[in-house]
Amino acid sequence: MPKKETKFIFVLGGVISGLGKGITSASIGYLLKSRGLSVTIMKLDPYLNVDPGTMNPYQHGEVFVLDDGSETDLDLGHYERFIDVDMSKNNNATTGQVYEAVLEKERKGDYLGQTIQVIPHITDEIKKRVYEMNKPKRFDAVIAEVGGTVGDIESLPFLETIRQIRLEKGRENVFIAHVTLLPYVEASEELKTKPTQHSVMKLREIGLEPDLILCRSSDKIPKSVKEKISLFCSVPTTHVVEARDVKSIYEVPLVFHQQRVGELVAAQLGLDGANHDITKLESFVDRFKNPTHEVTIALCGKYTELPDAYKSVLEAFVHAGVENDARVKIQWINSEELTSEKACEEQLGKVDGILVLPGFGPRGTEGKIAAARFAREKKVPYLGLCLGLQIAVIEFARNVCGIADATSSEFKKRSGKPVIDLMDGQKKVKRKGATMRLGAYDCDVPTGTKTYRAYRKKRISERHRHRYEVNNRFRNRLAKNGMIFSGINPDLNLVEIIELKDHPWFVASQFHPELKSRVNRAHPLFRDFVKAAVAHTNSK
């Protein structure tokens, strides 16, 4: 039987930003996948940066790196974690990329003298990117989340493209989900619908109307409020969905499922599929809510005021916590405050695990080195991520190997012994965008190591985003003093993982394991780190 046409589901947002459109898109994806349908999700980002790789994580949150090395929006992390599909650069399109492609064609003369305009040239380029999600594999449904809020100038070309897609593909193949906010007004004790009404009006102005309205609210939405939204926004009350605040983002698909969101979308689009099988997620959420252990993990970094900068790390702890039946409490440590042994004792003395976060630049690195030393000497479980490995190597070189001025050439350009250094290939690089060692690289893991015990595999593949590496000139000296290189890149002969002997669990990776942790498939290093933290707390 020929496969049905691919369905397109657009997820838009109104009223304010930050309503969780990413989680909503991922949750709809999860529900469709749980019906046995093939689904992918893409993010359309209205900003002019070509990718978020050059953006400050303070402003934009974490940069999520894919296997193919593309640096993408953090929402792609949610998509991968929820629907457990590896994505590629095609899953994220920004206005910057769209314009870059159009201008490149214009310069080559591909438009044969035409005047280049937003409609049709920019909208055609966006459309092409949406349709190309189906190449080479054809999906039952492509979900596309549009960043920003309806009414923003920047998102107009994307919304116009959706209008054209709906015209081309027919309403039976296109579905629009609109995420809004119902603010609660204390004085009148009411949830207000007016902002939602206005955002739907804004949508109508550009020729779109929602098929489903997902309302974020802090409270239960009374039937009368749903009826009002239904009347003013022209959707049946069954299609006004309550998206109440929940304890864990992994509950969102379950909350939607209770309100039959999967069925509603599938029915309207004529998508087949079996009944939902959501039992695995139900038991995941159940274990998350009913842990038997509790551990505190210190996260040492520079951007500790902005948890979005480390989204994937936090999610990896949720997954790893569940697999260990442990609640993982996060204690943020600003490494700039770890200036003395006393400060370390005060801030780290009670924790069950220490993690040094990824990062760039010299600021706060001495404090991170002090944290790694504390973990090593006091035998507190340690996990180092990217910069966290480099820090552990510098600390070990200084305090175990006796190389007092060991450093990274990222911190001190000319003085000191660069136990962490740039590879020759990186030395010539001047441009900042997309020039780091990015994406998936193979790594060999020797048996008999803690790393091997975690992965139970001799060849692994992990995602990278960094410029600096362990300097091979110092490898022998580090090894002689007891550092184990438990992960080596077979092609480039680079150190990818280190661990320590005579320590309960001290492991650090040059790559970013957090990017590959998924619901019901916690990353092995995070899983074993939390396991070691549970053992540590039990031994206290």
Q: Which of 404, 399, 341 is nearest to 371 (CA)?
A: 341
Give the β-pairing of 506-509 and 382-385.
parallel
Q: Does 467 bind ligand GLN (CB under 6 A)?
A: yes
Rg (CA), the chain: 25
Among 121, 228, 466, 527, binds ligand GLN (CB under 6 A): 466
Residue 248 identity: S
Q: Does 368 bind ligand GLN (CB under 6 A)?
A: no
Rounded to the nearest whole angstrom, what is the least distance from the CB of residue 126 to ligand GLN in the complex? 31
Of 386, 466, 469, 499, which one is the catalytic site residue? 386
Rounded to the nearest whole angstrom, what is the least distance from the CB of residue 386 to ligand GLN in the complex? 3
Beta carbon nearer to ligand GLN, 202 or 464 = 464
Beta carbon nearer to ligand GLN, 246 or 492 = 492
> In DSSP terms, which residues pair with 298 in a beta bridge?
331, 354
Rounded to the nearest whole angstrom, what is the least distance from the CB of residue 479 to ligand GLN in the complex? 21
- Write out the binding residues for ligand GLN, residues 301-360 only, by CB under 6 A: 358-360
Beta carbon nearer to ligand GLN, 232 or 360 = 360
Beta carbon nearer to ligand GLN, 123 or 408 = 408
C-alpha to C-alpha distance for 136 and 292, rounded to whole angstroms: 45
Beta carbon nearer to ligand GLN, 7 or 463 = 463
C-alpha to C-alpha distance for 198 and 179, rounded to whole angstroms: 13
Q: Does 71 bind ligand GLN (CB under 6 A)?
A: no
Q: Does 99 bind ligand GLN (CB under 6 A)?
A: no
Asked if residues 83 and 254 have their Cβ atoms less than 8 Å apart, the reply is no
Binding span for ligand GLN by CB under 6 A among 141-149, 156-164, 171-179, 464-472: 464-472
Beta carbon nearer to ligand GLN, 98 or 354 = 354
Cis peptide before 136 (omega within 30 of 0): yes
Give the β-pairing of 468-470 and 417-422.
antiparallel
Q: Does 465 bind ligand GLN (CB under 6 A)?
A: yes
Catalytic residue status for 178: no
- Write out the binding residues for ligand GLN, residues 378-407 only, by CB under 6 A: 386-387
Q: Does 410 bind ligand GLN (CB under 6 A)?
A: yes
Beta carbon nearer to ligand GLN, 75 or 421 = 421
**Residue 268: φ, ψ to 5°:** -65, -35
Residues that contact ligand GLN, how many (by CB under 6 A): 10
Asked if residues 146 and 181 have their Cβ atoms less than 8 Å apart, the reply is no
Beta carbon nearer to ligand GLN, 131 or 360 = 360
Task: Measure the CA angle with vertex 342, ends 341 and 343; round to 5°.
Answer: 90
Catalytic residue status for 514: yes
DSSP 243: E
> In DSSP terms, which residues pair with 506 in a beta bridge?
382
Rounded to the nearest whole angstrom, what is the least distance from the CB of residue 389 to ligand GLN in the complex? 8
Rounded to the nearest whole angstrom, what is the least distance from the CB of residue 465 to ligand GLN in the complex? 5
> If you write DSSP's letter for every residue of 330-370 in order, what string do you get?
EEEEEGGG--SHHHHHHHHTT-SEEEEPP--SSTTHHHHHH
Q: Quick one: tokens of 248?
A: 């864990």
Q: Does 131 bind ligand GLN (CB under 6 A)?
A: no
Residue 198 CB-half CA count within 13 A: 10
Residues in the chain: 540
x-marked contacts with ligand GLN along 423-462 as a string, rule CB under 6 A: ----------------------------------------
Of 178, 239, 512, 523, which one is the catalytic site residue? 512
Rounded to the nearest whole angstrom, what is the least distance from the CB of residue 418 to ligand GLN in the complex? 12
Asked if residues 463 and 511 have their Cβ atoms less than 8 Å apart, the reply is yes
Catalytic residue status for 239: no
How many other CB atoms are there within 10 angstroms of residue 203's CB atom?
22
Which positions lie near ligand GLN, rule CB under 6 A? 358-360, 386-387, 410, 465-468
Q: Which residues are catalytic?
A: 386, 512, 514
